[in-house]
Structure 1
């Protein structure tokens, strides 16, 4: 159905590409495009609200007593995960309701992958990249894990956008969560140091960490190649058998084009397969990628910019955000799990 719609749109554009766009006509089209965008968001929000009302997710969803195995491998975000007991558990830990948003899924995926690997235990050492103001360092510290949290130095020009949007953390104090653990325990277990992901300091690449993670960071390093170089270099930070968990932007159109350079790049399955070969050559393993698109209705909903809470003279809506359009590409989040060799 989507393919037929795209063909119809292409033929319509061909028929109308020579029509003069007078001022009134252009304004009319812009208004109708905006109303269409709003209608898409309203329909998506209505679908999500029905799922929340049914208790499949949201505040009414039942909360499990503790974590539960899910057998995670590398995978893409999907509706069924938001409704799963393992995800609801980590949402409770994070102090939020399980909502249909891929960014929340990324945090839950990292925590579940680390828990299943036995990394959320006292005595473990963890390394976080581009942590910003994430809750993950505090969550790990509350489990007794020693955490080295890193991010770009505040004076680095590349950190400017993250600082302006409140997503940059320049000190451990910005990572403290009093609802998770006492300050004394936090300060004893969490330290912060500035680190550039494209040039990880040699002293961190000595194989001294049990696990490491990054959330929605490696796609912002300028190119597809730069992202994979970071993943390879980060493996040097792990002890033999250590676990690395990364989340990133994933282009669900595996056969078409993608964005390979710029402030945000989009990885495809072929790029993940290339990464698997690269790390295997170094003796490491990337857990197989399950890129199932999901069977839920919300797996078929593609959010349109602007993202997040949307408002217009017609009201305010909160559409689901498991899929989104990035310059016309259907995108979601993917989580990658790697195990260090040796």
Structure 2
């Protein structure tokens, strides 16, 4: 009879190989789509943007394969590939362009920017940007520093292919800010744009994330645009992560947020959270997600959907138009 500890070791090894097999099949699926010209390095990148009519929206395969993502890949310095983080950057940029605020003279405020490309892209279009992140000596910043995602100044935000350094420095500033307790000086109603990319789910709870969105609205002028991306649990009726370092929002939480914002005179654009039938929309990537941490070498499977603590999740973007204040 096999001793229990040896049986458990064997089961663990087999689970790891099953994960590897899932990633192999996913990577092959993605490569076939790239070879067919649906996305990937051989598709053309349009020079000019085009309207799509984005509202609040969940990530999906057809977006990665669509015109508007392809255009923003040019500024992002990449090709269209099946990854939700690319979708988040493209979504934020497309919304700002469609709302008419991606132009010279506008003022933007970004939260938890880390080393994002967005400040440089906004600045390349004449937008003045204040980029913020947690102070480096804040204990909550340790993981972001360790993984190279934390921002301390404007240096890691500069992108040489977008503008010269002098023009970038004229338009982009950096300061520390805690999203859980926004400085009063930022809540002065002077900005045309506020944004955050997958940050509000790291504030400890659903409530703290929603409170941040409400506070960020006070940074905007009437008519200003807020765009935030976060984690969406695709299982609407099941359990979710409600507290901890990462929480998962469900449709009901975002509906509640829309109602809270409306009570303060703001308008969240309708949420299109349909779960479409694309094969990449059905593929759920499983940990580990870091390249090279699989048994037989690095792979790049689709990453539009992923398992977070066993919950099927994706990225969702919300768009809010600032009103005059509570009625």
CA–CA distance in structure 2, aligned partners of residues 55 and 64 of structure 1: 15
Matched, 1:97 2:79: yes
Deviation of the 1:312 alpha carbon: 4.3
Deviation of the 1:46 alpha carbon: 0.8
CA–CA distance in structure 2, aligned partners of residues 170 and 286 of structure 1: 31
- Contact 2:17/2:295 (CA < 8 Å) preserved in 1? no
Residues 311 and 202 (structure 1 numbering): CA distance in 2 closer, same or farther, change over 3 Å? closer
Alignment match, 2:180: 198
Residues 235 and 313 (structure 1 numbering): CA distance in 2 closer, same or farther, change over 3 Å? closer
Count residues with an aligned counterpart: 324
Deviation of the 1:95 alpha carbon: 0.3
Alignment match, 1:119: 101
Query: If you compute each CA radius of gyration, which structure gives the higher value, 1 or 2?
Result: 1
Residues 20 and 255 (structure 1 numbering): CA distance in 2 closer, same or farther, change over 3 Å? farther
Alignment match, 2:300: 318
- Contact 2:223/2:321 (CA < 8 Å) preserved in 1? yes
Alignment match, 2:147: 165
Name the TM-score, length of structure 2 as normaliser: 0.97
Runs of 4+ in 1 over 2 A off after TM superposition: 308-316
Alignment match, 2:252: 270
Name the TM-score, length of structure 1 as normaliser: 0.92
Matched, 1:218 2:176: no
Residues 242 and 313 (structure 1 numbering): CA distance in 2 closer, same or farther, change over 3 Å? closer
Matched, 1:186 2:171: no
Q: Secondary structure at the match of 2:298?
A: strand
CA–CA distance in structure 1, aligned partners of residues 180 and 13 of structure 2: 43
Residues 118 and 37 (structure 1 numbering): CA distance in 2 closer, same or farther, change over 3 Å? same
1:296-319 residue CA offsets vs partner (Å, 9 max, x unmatched): 101000000001425545443211
Alignment match, 1:13: none
CA–CA distance in structure 2, aligned partners of residues 285 and 196 of structure 1: 25
Matched, 1:71 2:53: yes
Deviates more, 1:79-88 or 1:29-38: 29-38
- Contact 1:129/1:197 (CA < 8 Å) preserved in 2? yes
Q: Secondary structure at the match of 1:88?
A: helix
Gaps of 5+ in 1: 1-18
Mapping for residues 289-304 of structure 1, pairs under 5 Å: 289-304=271-286
RMSD between superposed Cα atoms in Å: 1.3
- Contact 1:309/1:319 (CA < 8 Å) preserved in 2? no
- Contact 1:42/1:317 (CA < 8 Å) preserved in 2? yes
Deviates more, 1:23-32 or 1:296-305: 23-32
CA–CA distance in structure 2, aligned partners of residues 21 and 62 of structure 1: 58
- Contact 1:126/1:146 (CA < 8 Å) preserved in 2? yes
1:108-158 residue CA offsets vs partner (Å, 9 max, x unmatched): 110001010111100000000000001100000000000011111111111
Mapping for residues 1-342 of structure 1, pairs under 5 Å: 22-310=4-292, 312-342=294-324
